Structure 1
Amino acid sequence: MEKEQYRKGALIELSITDLAEKNQCFGRLDNGMAVMVTGMLAVGDRVSAAIKKIRQRYIEATLVEVLIPSGDRVTPECGFFGVCGGCKMMHIAYEVQKELKRKKIIDAMVHIGGFENPQVKPVMGAVAPLHYRNKIEFSFSARRYLMPGELVLEKPLSSPDFALGFHAPGNFEKVLDVDYCYLAPSSMNEVLALTRSFCLERELSAYSTRSNTGYLRNLVIRSSEHRRQLMVNLVTSWHDSELMRSYAEVLSAAMPNQEMTILNNVTTRKNTVALGEEEFLVAGDGFITERLGKLDFNISANSFFQTNSAQTVLLYDEILRVAGLDIGDTVYDLFCGTGTIALYLSDYCRQVIGLEVSESSVADARKNAALNQREHVLFMQVDLNDHRAMVDALQRHDKPRVIVTDPPRAGMHPKALEVMVRIAPEKIVYVSCNPASLARDGSEICKGGYRLTSLQPVDMFPHTSHIESVACFERE
């Protein structure tokens, strides 16, 4: 069939051959026409889809029905799969998920970075692909997202005016009322259930972004795998000390053997960001402590910390392995955040210099250095997008043999990358959460006289499309 004969709304049939970004998949019609299909699918699915748009070089379509399921499919653990946007790969066997993530990196390195046959190692998978998150952020809403089965009912199964869970994909106003999350430990799910009951019994109002009214905004729960501690942060529009004391009493009574700290962050901003303008300590110390390797880290309500503690150790061990540090080395850690990588490397070199733009992150990093008695680790607040400020900061210290960079998802600013390459360390260890950014920046690093010697993916987020990787570039 010629392209001109396709029309919007027409049904087409094809096999899925690859996964794309978000919840899109790729396939071709029998005549070779490329099609992007929206829907939670697996490679090997034979599907029926409805044409949505006809582009110059491909067709956009929406899934109608899976005609023949792929052999890679499994039954998702979660009943909210397909509606909640969190675990978009839970319907695919975990071993296959890892293969798809590795392919995603290879494709980016080849097609974006121009690397020929990049030697990407097999993905380091998670020992526990479920219940691995040490932080979960739930949202309240005065508008509950109705499940597909409820739309045909005369009356919703529960109140449409209250929800505690996750925002429906692409909808910042409605929230899917989730009673259990399979990425969270059981203790977090217990707090979720207790909080929902507490709020409903007292008829507390959920926040509405439309009217900017309502008391309840977010429930953020953090846990320490090493210390078995919990942090419960209820984010509200104002502080009610008596109500918060009652809330703490309910949690403590229901979970008497759980070490817990309880906080109330208060914000008046007209948004859904779980970050308070003011913080009230209700119970406990106000922080929890997690251990990575030999190091302890105090985690406050709004500080950054990797959300999968077990996989973080694997990731940092890989950084340490490819860095190949000597005890006399100076190491630069760019985009150092709260200092976890810098401190993890500090036992194996003479000094580590960490650079970070966020003032609060630098403050946390210095506290973590003091907590672990690492006087030879220095943290500096520097805007790494300002190459002059970056040069001025680094000129005060010895030339590094190794630079570790862990940039944001968008990758490194071209000027920052230029300065890093000009410093000419023997090795650059690039930690990436975005294969496209790694491919683009990696290509520029190689143009500066380096070669890619190792690329190790680490699965920090099973059942999602995200993949972390550690790439090592050595000067030629």
Structure 2
Amino acid sequence: MPEFQETATDDSDVTLDITGVVAGGDGIGRQESGRVVFVTGAMPSERVTIRITDERRDFARGEVDRILTPSPDRVVPPCAFRIAGCGGCEWQHIAPHAQPGFKRDLVVDALRRIARIDEPNVADCVALAPQGYRTTVRVAIDSEGRPAFRKSLSHDLVTVDDCLVAHPTLAAMLCDARWPGAKEAVLRVGARTGEVLVDVKPLPDGFATPTFFHEEAAGRMWQISAGSFFQIRPDGADELARLVVDALAAHQVATVVDLYSGVGLFAGALHERGFDVRAAVEGGRFAAADARVNLEGVCDVIECDVAKWRGIPVDAVVADPSRRGLMTEGVATIERCAPRTVVLVSCDVAALGRDAKLLVAAGFALDHSTPLDLFPHTPHVEVVSTFVRL
């Protein structure tokens, strides 16, 4: 067990037993009064003293002051910049082997508490390599032109020359790159192609950068513009595509539409496996333009707000909405397609809970969910869920 620094407490400190984790990554416990307290930096099975930082009528928030009984899965954060205050990688104090289990717990809790599904069928979380995986990194630029990350809940900067989770190409840029006069930059790399895209703002004089790059994932090559989203790691895109393809294959569907298609990942992967993809619908201008290139000969690419699309009849819908989820409008579009199977890809567990509740109300039942740990050292988790028409 590693040693942990303990700080002195005072009469305002509260002692809590931490019983679980919640969406966002905080530990949760209850005071003797029954009031729920969300505790940043605490882990299940720990007893801690905390400083209350925010009090409401029904709950409070706090920060760990002293760890009285540490979890056997607690470790010293492996990154010196996290210790120095960097606001990323909020779960570096949790051993990597334990993080997927906690993320599965988050999914189960959201489906039970928000969607009101009593016994959700949730598979073990798929684990991926915990270091050197991020192929997109957003940085601030300090007064000397060096890359920096922001401190947690602050505009203050932590200047860095490395990053535990950044792809090695991007980690080298954090060490060597200088952009005097710039305020921020987005660094992107194709891990399997070696192509680099740097989007610096404001753009320094004489600085030129490509407008798109390529990545290989799920058996295909993808054009990805500076303004387009793509999964944070190609092995994660591989796994997501595999889970989506396997889910539809298990339900023996033939025709599919891909909603919130982005640059076309799922439509392309499904086409490779012999599914009849009828349309990919994407509201983002840059992503739709990329999809037209990536899905040439695969299906029609429809550039419009998914909520406003009229829909077409198909056996199945794949939907990969943004962090806010499908919401009522997205579920209505799915209903207009009259599918018997829906595969939902969620990047926020609370949104998953809300969307599952809406889909159940629309006449679907949750078949199963599979969490995927795309973002080790953070509380974020991707979830692929299959719903079937009752």
Same fold per superposition (TM over 0.5): yes
Match of 2:182 in 1: 216
Distance 1:23 1:329, change over 3 A: closer
Displacement of 1:318 in angstroms is 0.5
Tell me which moved more, 55-64 or 111-120. Answer: 55-64
CA distance in 2, matches of 1:61, 1:17: 15
The answer to whether the 8 A contact 2:259-2:320 is kept is yes
Alignment partner for residue 110 of structure 2, among 92, 108, 111?
A: 108
Displacement of 1:190 in angstroms is 1.4
Structure 2's unaligned 5+ residue stretches are: 1-9
Displacement of 1:471 in angstroms is 0.8
Alignment partner for residue 376 of structure 1, among 298, 304, 313?
A: 298
Distance 1:432 1:346, change over 3 A: same
Match of 1:301 in 2: 226
The answer to whether the 8 A contact 2:307-2:333 is kept is no
Match of 1:167 in 2: 150
The answer to whether the 8 A contact 2:367-2:388 is kept is yes
What one-letter code is carried by the residue in structure 1 that aligns with 2:307? N
CA distance in 1, matches of 2:365, 2:251: 21
Match of 1:385 in 2: 307
Tell me which moved more, 332-341 or 376-385. Answer: 376-385
For residue 41 of structure 1, give the secondary structure of its aligned residue in structure 2. coil
Distance 1:289 1:33, change over 3 A: same
Structure 1's unaligned 5+ residue stretches are: 1-7, 143-160, 205-214, 245-261, 264-280
For residue 95 of structure 1, give the secondary structure of its aligned residue in structure 2. coil
What one-letter code is carried by the residue in structure 1 that aligns with 2:359? I
Within 5 A, what are the aligned runs for 1:254-293? 263=209, 281=210, 287-293=212-218
Tell me the alpha carbon deviations over residues 285-323 of structure 1, each in whole angstroms, 9 at most, x when there is no partner: x54321113210122333221111101101110100011
The answer to whether the 8 A contact 2:223-2:263 is kept is no
Match of 2:136 in 1: 135
What one-letter code is carried by the residue in structure 2 that aligns with 1:13? T
Displacement of 1:179 in angstroms is 1.7
Match of 1:402 in 2: 316
Tell me the alpha carbon deviations over residues 193-246 of structure 1, each in whole angstroms, 9 at most, x when there is no partner: 1114xx5xxxx3xxxxxxxxxx2122332222222x1414151435422xx4xx
CA distance in 1, matches of 2:224, 2:333: 32
Match of 1:359 in 2: 285
Displacement of 1:67 in angstroms is 2.5
Distance 1:175 1:33, change over 3 A: same
Q: Which has the larger radius of gyration?
A: 1
CA distance in 2, matches of 1:78, 1:87: 9
Higher relative contact order (CA 8 A, sep 6+): 2
The answer to whether the 8 A contact 1:221-1:230 is kept is no
What one-letter code is carried by the residue in structure 2 that aligns with 1:290? E
CA distance in 1, matches of 2:36, 2:353: 25
The answer to whether the 8 A contact 2:316-2:339 is kept is yes
The answer to whether the 8 A contact 1:37-1:49 is kept is no
1:464 aligns with 2:375: no
For residue 307 of structure 2, give the secondary structure of its aligned residue in structure 1. coil
Match of 1:39 in 2: 40
Q: TM-score with structure 1 length normalisation?
A: 0.74
What one-letter code is carried by the residue in structure 2 that aligns with 1:309? P
Calculate percent identity across the aligned residue pairs. Answer: 27
Displacement of 1:422 in angstroms is 4.2
Match of 1:252 in 2: none
Tell me which moved more, 312-321 or 89-98. Answer: 89-98
What one-letter code is carried by the residue in structure 1 that aligns with 2:196? M
Displacement of 1:72 in angstroms is 1.2
Tell me the alpha carbon deviations over residues 121-154 of structure 1, each in whole angstroms, 9 at most, x when there is no partner: 000111x111111111211133xxxxxxxxxxxx
Distance 1:419 1:290, change over 3 A: closer
The answer to whether the 8 A contact 1:328-1:350 is kept is no
Within 5 A, what are the aligned runs for 1:50-89? 50-82=51-83, 83-89=85-91
For residue 354 of structure 1, give the secondary structure of its aligned residue in structure 2. strand
Tell me which moved more, 325-334 or 15-24. Answer: 325-334
Distance 1:166 1:378, change over 3 A: same
Displacement of 1:328 in angstroms is 8.7
Paired positions, count: 379
